Amino acid sequence: MPSLGADRSPLRIVLCPPDFLPFREASQGKPVDATYVIQSQLAQRLSARANQLTILSTQSNTDIICATDIERPQVAPRSFSNRRWFSLAGKASWKAQQAVGIPYLNVFSNIRLYDAALQCLPGNDLVYERNSLYRTGIATASRKLGIPYVLYIEADEVLEFDIMGRPLMGLLRRRALHGIGHNLRAADHIVCVSEQLKQHLVRRWKAPAERIDVFSNVADTDKFRPDEVARAEIRAEFGLGDSPLVVFVGQFYQWHDVGTLLSAFAGLSAARPNARLLLVGDGDTRKRMAQQATNLGIGDRVHFTGSVPHGSVPRYLAAADVAVVPYPPLPVDVWLSPLKLFEYMACGLAIVASATGQVVEVIQNGHNGLTVAPGDSSTMGQAINRLLDDDVFRAQMGHQARHDAVTSHSWTLYIERLETLFRKIIDDAARHRTARGDRGYARL
């Protein structure tokens, strides 16, 4: 049987983001969580290379979307799960669970998703799913149909809830753990965002290391770049003039240590009363951070933008002199791949970052940025001040960061590498089927 990837013909890929609506909003340029920015970029760039994409995702507990055009989404066809008896059984089950205090466990939703996937997946070469808590239907259908299934993981979400102090409990925890384990076992290959996460998947989940590839997040180096026009416009909008500007972009999650950044800024602002701090984004801790800024006496020097479209972020970064990636000390090594880090780099900004996880693999202290101990506001303030004090050193750090982003952390390189991996997985699956004499799946 000839290699499916040898002719470099377009691939037929089913991309499965967690939820359809925020995925579509990301493609429309609306403010959404970073995971949907990444999924949207992935879809656009795979399509731009002439691959044929289908989006399979949930829109509600009952509706599943199967779309080749996300602006004209179609509800996926279903068979047995579309019958009245199935709907009545699902409602009865949920009422029984409510009666005895059992949380919604997504059992019937997963069966609907499995049924829809059985209808939508045939004829495609590969399924690429971003892991989602409690969701196993797509993995199960992929295995049944014999279509290569690749699982993309940004984090162990059960661990995230633990670290945030909101651990999943009881049956809900068991259901979440079962879902992650099921998908990891079903996957022909796993893509994760950091070496730290890979090691966690191997240790905690016994995932085979040889089936895991690390794809750190990257930046659009064409859109994220130094921009003197945008710099002047944003500085005029906020009345900054020539004031030194420090920036943070993020969702204000608990592991985004904005509190330490505020304390660091308060420490340096006594000597730099004209310095300003711009915090771009929103999230659970924003109100608390605004109150902390007031308590520190820097409320008039800190600007909170709230949520902004991802397409507007480069303009805010262009106005900055220093960008910060703050993390607190955590009980586990940080498993994340900070999107903000690579976008800061692409904009040619001098960076101060907490020395943890993937950050220390990307930022070499004194070469393309400065690293500081997590949670240390004094050292962070000194690092920011050092960059603001020395225009030449700051420019050197920013220039090197931009160079590293373009040469090592761009979407162009990411997509080329991912497509190569996809073709290898498809080829391997074809060889295995040939060895078994299995003709149940063929590329038409």
Residues in the chain with pLDDT values less than 70: 1-7, 437-444
Beta-carbon contacts of 363 under 8 Å, excluding residues fewer than 6 positions away, are 341, 351, 353, 369, 370, 371
Distance CA(147)–CA(137), nearest Å, equals 14
Structure token digits, residue 346: 């692409």
At position 230, the amino acid (one-letter code) is: A
Q: What is the pLDDT of residue 6?
A: 47
Q: What is the pLDDT of residue 1?
A: 35
- DSSP-derived secondary structure letter, 410: B
Q: What is the pLDDT of residue 4?
A: 41
For the stretch 206-257, pLDDT in tens is 999 999 999 999 999 999 999 999 999 999 999 999 999 999 999 887 778 9
Beta-carbon contacts of 30 under 8 Å, excluding residues fewer than 6 positions away, are 309
Q: What is the pLDDT of residue 438?
A: 55
Q: What is the pLDDT of residue 254?
A: 78
Beta strands in 163-310 (DSSP E): 189-192, 212-214, 245-249, 276-280, 302-306
Contact 388, 320 (CB under 8 A): no
Classify residue 135 as left (phi > 0), alpha (psi -120 to 50) or beta.
beta
Structure token digits, residue 337: 């791949």
Q: What is the pLDDT of residue 191?
A: 98
Q: What is the pLDDT of residue 444?
A: 24
| Other residues' Cβ atoms within 10 Å of the Cβ of residue 260 | 24
Domains in the chain, start-ordered, CATH in brackets? 12-218+410-436 (3.40.50.2000), 228-408 (3.40.50.2000)
Distance CA(135)–CA(71), nearest Å, equals 24
Beta-carbon contacts of 8 under 8 Å, excluding residues fewer than 6 positions away, are none
Angle (CA) 99-105-108 rounded to 5° is: 100
Q: What is the pLDDT of residue 65?
A: 97
Question: Which of 319, 323, 347 is closest to 409 using CA atoms?
Answer: 347
b/e burial code for range 161-192 (CB count within 10 A of at least 16 → b) = bebeeeebeeebeebbeebbebbbebbbbbbb
Q: What is the pLDDT of residue 7?
A: 58
Contact 262, 302 (CB under 8 A): yes
Q: What is the pLDDT of residue 358?
A: 96
Distance CA(45)–CA(243), nearest Å, equals 38
The values of phi and psi at residue 263, to 5°, are -65, -40
3-class DSSP state of 404: helix
